[in-house]
Amino acid sequence: MSAVRRIPYALLIGFALYLAPGCSEHPKQKAYVPKTDTVMISQMKFQPAELTVHAGDTVVWVNKDMVVHDITQAPVGTWSSGPLASGKSWKMAVQQSDDYYCSIHVVMTGKVVVVNDDR
């Protein structure tokens, strides 16, 4: 076989090898669409008290009580919603697990757990 006739075969094999890894990785390249979860503040409780999300998801806290609440990272307060009046909501994109509490009613506590899995 001449060198000239061998070129199309080499191109074909090369092209196949190029495509193969790409095909197998296709599911991993699918972009994750962040979701939004809601925590209701009702009857002086965060409901649910513990919420599991993925990194990048957004959590919305909705104050359904008649009194003002806030959502503050525990224990040092690295982030906080500030005062959240009755009927108002506040949201945050979550990147890491955190405990939180209401600094106005310090016995009210909650937790956001961020899981990292194959998506």
Partner 1 sequence: MLNRGKVTKLADIFCNLSEAADSNGHSLKKFHKMKSIKQQAALIIGCAIFLFAGSTPVHAQQTPKLADDEIASVAVVANQNDIDFANIAKKKSTNSEILQFANTMASDHQAVIDQAVALVTRLKVTPKDNAVSKQLVAGAKKTQQMLKSKSGKAFDKAYIDNEVAYHKSVIDAVEKVLIPQAQNADLKNLLQQVLPTLKTHLEHAEMVQSRIAKS
Question: Interface residues with partner 1 (CB under 8 A)?
Answer: 43-45, 65-68, 86, 104-108
CB of 87 to partner 1, least distance (A): 12
User: Following DSSP, what letter does each residue of 22-85 receive, concatenated?
Assistant: HHHHHHHHSPP---EEEEEEETTEEESSEEEEETT-EEEEEE-SSS-B--EEETT-SSB---B-
CB of 68 to partner 1, least distance (A): 6
In angstroms, the CA 63 to CA 53 distance is 20
CB of 58 to partner 1, least distance (A): 27
Measured from the CB atom, the residue of 20 and 104 that comes closer to partner 1 is 104
Measured from the CB atom, the residue of 55 and 68 that comes closer to partner 1 is 68
